[in-house]
Structure 1
Amino acid sequence: MTTPIVQFGTSRFLQAHADLFISEALKKGDAIGRITVVQTTGSAERSGRLKALAAPEGFPVIVRGLIDGVEIERTDRVTSVARALSTVDGWDAVKRIVAEEAEVLISNTGDTGYAIGDDDLQTDVPASFPGKLLILLHARFLAGGKPLTILPCELTARNGDTLKKVMLGLQSGRIADAGFAEWLSNQVIWGNTLVDRIVSEPLEPAGAVAEPYALWAIENQPGLKTPCSHPSILLVDDLTPYEKLKLHILNLGHTVLSDIWLKTGRPQDETVKEILRDTQIHTGLMDIYQTEVIPGFAARNLGRQATDYVALTMDRFRNPFLEHRIRDIANHHAEKIVRRIADFRAWSPDVPMPKLAAITESR
């Protein structure tokens, strides 16, 4: 079976996001085809997912939450994955599929996914994702170099531009071929994307529990190809408003709650919905949104969008079904304060933000 979509990563997020969207679109004839999933890490812990991801009966995604204040719960079967391979024992097959079949590549490789490995310039199967991707793209170039769209889903600003820069730098050091460099720059479309969905729990051996809300915003450009048409996929002219709303409302709110949790000795397993049952904390967060965050967006002519997104965010935070533990959100807290809070203050410097300032100054 030909698979025009190749996905790097086996995360529960991708299972409840891209894989589910494509599965739903396939049923309507609105997808370009099915997926080959590629495990890039060699992790024994994740290797057990591969067979389950490509099972003919599919794998479950349980969607639970609130839609317009009404609780919903449903289970979807995801059948968009045709193959699941590992770069450890399926490298030759992965090379062939990327060279001959792929039209769209999708990736979600974690916070350090774009890091370059020490062996990237020496080995046939590099350890890092960029190292592997370079070898695979070179194989496609040598096989005729058909155009290709890459849609990274890592939570990195301008993720397509960032990955392109990493890849061109790596190419110049390992494969000094002017034709290949030109092809990477002009025939590969590096899409900038923003993904937004809370996927709170994995299911074993494959599957996930997710909230109803989902967004995959993709910045349009000439030649860009999407894997499918779906209500949760938006082709937009500029990602910036979507990035700012998510980063400085939803993510900022998570970090405000994490800061309270870290400083006040609250229960170790406390979830977002549980901490917001504390009236004082709920009121404090809403005060920050109303007096500092929304005015900051209004100064950028995004006040209405921010008001709507705050309301949506609070519904998502209070989702009665999701066990979104604050200890997970609190990882790398100091770095998140900079990106989510300090950068927001710098983005709207004329708006007083004393409560957010107190958090940044205490880190």
Structure 2
Amino acid sequence: MTQQLSRTAYPDLPAYPERMIQFGEGNFMRAFVDWQLQQMNNKGLFQGSAVLVQPLDQGLGDMLTEQDCLYTVLLNGILDQETVNSREIITSVSRIINPYRNYEAFLALAEADDLEFITSNTTEAGIAYHPDDKRDSAPHKSFPAKLTALLLRRFELGKKGFIIIPCELIDRNGEKLREIVLRYAEEWQAGEAFITWVKEENTFCCSLVDRIVPGYPRDKAKELEQELGYLDKLMVTAEPFLFWVIEGPAEVKERLPLAQAGLNVVVTPDMTPYRERKVHLLNGPHTAMVSLGLLAGLVTVEDVMNDPAFSKFVDVQMKQELLPMLDLPEQELLQYAEAVQERFKNPFIRHELTSIYLNSISKFKTRLLPVLIRYQRERSQLPRLTVLAFAALLFGYQGGCLPRQDGPEVLAAFDQAAAKPESFLNDILSDASLWGEDLTGIPGLVEQLRADLKQLETAGSRSALQQVIGGES
């Protein structure tokens, strides 16, 4: 019988003192933050580990404890035109605390002077205010309330504050977390001295994370057990690409030497350009390709990138329409665009277009509409491929020929507009509840969309694409 991964089975693996508190024990954080700690430790730059705090009562705590918090990260994919297929046992997690079982053990983390960083990923809904969380609650329900309680204990002990870097996928995550912590501090009547300490002695950083982490390789678990020579119930697969932008002071770079370890991490006083780069150059092409691809019978992102016409669409749209609208150095953007396309081609990641199609209206509004508007304003012409992608989106939502998955109010707006085909386009584009503004005022947009919709209806997606961009059939 194969032996389970543990420190008993592998007694020579290194252990490190605790320097980070991490809220969240899921696949992403273990393959992203803890993997990066491992890389710093490998180079002798950090010499520290993370103690994990389980954000929900039910989690992976028992499984992690069973394996002495060891697990394997499997990197599969293509990076810099090289195939990566690596396996590494991660030793940068020390232990896990379940505050629902032992809240005092959680609060006791405030006593450790060596703990200087706090990271988190408690899902997009994790950074939220819950009115039921009172000062004497034990445990507190929300992550921000738990953090406030921990900071209050730290303050009462007269100790230094933390560098706090949330990884939740919401805009300005650090600012929102700080705002809720201060709200609890006020409501709990923790005192002005504590509020001042939170503001002045703790650094709340906004951050942007980027790595695709499919998670536990269930379909290959038995095969990997034979290959690795041990049983690992917590192994996690991830793409080799990684990017982390941390908005904060320069001391963050010095105290957390991620870039020095060769990791793709940027510490900057303003993360806005990097957020726009990811939203428009990674998420934008996903949204642009999805309706056109589904209408052409394609299934995955890899299918899109292996199709000559569609891969040309992605490349040209990124480099001629999206990239020029971003305020970062051109060479840096070109390198990022090439890396994104390489990731899209990753044969180890099955990314289905139907999953990207979910909530496509709000995605288009965030990812592509700002580029369309800026492009027209600055160049007095429409970004042709982005408009075609918009037409395909409207076509799929209008006729229900694609599996729409969106909010009921969005679907109701489209169904109501589709009931009057002659005015559909004007009605849907003028609905500010969908787009944030009336789009009928954008010069030439209604006319071009009308022509593209007719082409999609009469000739199909592939023909419409080839008419605009050319390419092989």
TM-score band by shorter chain is 0.7 to 0.9
Whether the 8 Å CA contact 1:6–1:98 is kept in 2: the answer is: no
Q: Which residue identity does 1:264 align to in structure 2?
A: L
The corresponding residue for 1:282 is 311
Residues 301, 197 of structure 1: alpha-carbon distance in 2 compared, 3 angstrom cutoff: closer
Shift of 1:180: 0.9
Between the aligned partners of 1:317 and 1:120, the Cα distance in structure 2 is 43
CA contact (8 A) 1:65 1:319 kept: yes
Identity %: 25
Q: Does 1:110 align with 2:123?
A: yes
Aligned partner of residue 202 in structure 1, secondary structure: coil
The corresponding residue for 2:415 is none
> 1:183-332 maps to which residues of 2 (within 5 A)?
183-203=197-217, 205-221=233-249, 224=252, 226-229=255-258, 230-232=261-263, 233-260=265-292, 264=295, 266=297, 270-297=299-326, 300=327, 302-332=329-359
Show the 5 A alignment for 1:1-363.
Answer: 2-44=17-59, 46-51=60-65, 54-55=68-69, 58-101=70-113, 102-121=115-134, 123-203=137-217, 205-221=233-249, 224=252, 226-229=255-258, 230-232=261-263, 233-260=265-292, 264=295, 266=297, 270-297=299-326, 300=327, 302-345=329-372, 349-351=377-379, 352-357=382-387, 359=389, 362=394
Report the equivalent of 2:6. Answer: none
Please give the per-residue CA displacement for 1:134-162, whole angstroms capped at 9, x wherever unaligned.
11111111121312110111222332222
Secondary structure at the counterpart of residue 120 of structure 1: coil
Deviations 1:305-329 (A, max 9, x none): 2222111110011012222333443
Q: Kindly provide the CA deviation profile for residues 187-222 of structure 1, in whole angstroms up to 9, marking residues without a partner as x.
A: 011112222111123246323211111122223416
Match of 2:368, SS state, is: helix
Given that 1:117 and 1:126 are in contact with CA atoms closer than 8 Å, whether structure 2 keeps it comes out as no
Please say which of residues 251-260 and 134-143 is displaced more in the overlay: 251-260
Q: Kindly indicate whether structure 1 or structure 2 has the higher relative contact order, using CA contacts under 8 Å at least 6 residues apart.
A: 1
Contact 1:50 1:85 in 2 (8 A): no
- Stretch moving more, 215-224 or 149-158: 215-224
Q: Which amino acid aligns with 1:103?
A: E
CA offsets 1:49-106 (integer angstroms, 9 cap, x no match) = 4325643xx2111111223322121111111001012221132111111343421001
Q: How far off its partner does 1:47 sit?
A: 4.3
Amino acid corresponding to residue 43 of structure 1 in structure 2:
Q
Which of the two has higher C-alpha Rg? 2
Q: Is the contact made by 1:220 and 1:235 (CA closer than 8 Å) also made in structure 2?
A: yes
Distance, in Å, in 2 between the alignment partners of 1:347 and 1:126 is 45
CA distance in 2, matches of 1:260, 1:51: 47
* 1:170 alignment partner AA: Y
**What is the rounded CA distance, in whole Å, between the counterparts of 2:349 and 2:205 in structure 1?**
31
For 2:199 and 2:333, the matched residues in 1 are separated by: 36
Q: Which has the higher helix share?
A: 2
2: distance between equivalents of 1:214 and 1:205? 24
AA paired with 1:50?
L
8 Å contact kept, 2:154–2:161:
no
Distance in 2 between the 1:222 and 1:186 partners? 16
Structure 1 match to 2:402: none
Give 1:227 deviation, angstroms: 4.0
After the TM superposition, which of the residue ranges 167-176 and 89-98 deviates more from structure 2? 167-176
Separation (CA, whole Å) in 1 of partners of 2:328 and 2:37: 34
**Rounded Cα–Cα distance in structure 1 between residues aligned with 2:177 and 2:87:** 34
| Deviation of 1:358 (Å) | 5.6
Could you say which residue in structure 1 is the equivalent of 2:406? none
Equivalent residue letter for 2:237: V
Query: In structure 2, how many angstroms separate the alpha carbons of the residues matched to 1:342 and 1:138?
Result: 43
Q: Determine if contact 1:6/1:106 at 8 Å carries over to the other structure.
A: yes
Render the CA deviation track for 1:277-327: whole Å, top value 9, x for unaligned.
233332322232133112222xx3543322221111100110122223334
Please state which structure has a larger fraction of its residues in strand. 1
Gaps of 5+ in 1: none
Structure 2 residues without counterparts, runs of 5 or longer: 1-15, 218-231, 398-473
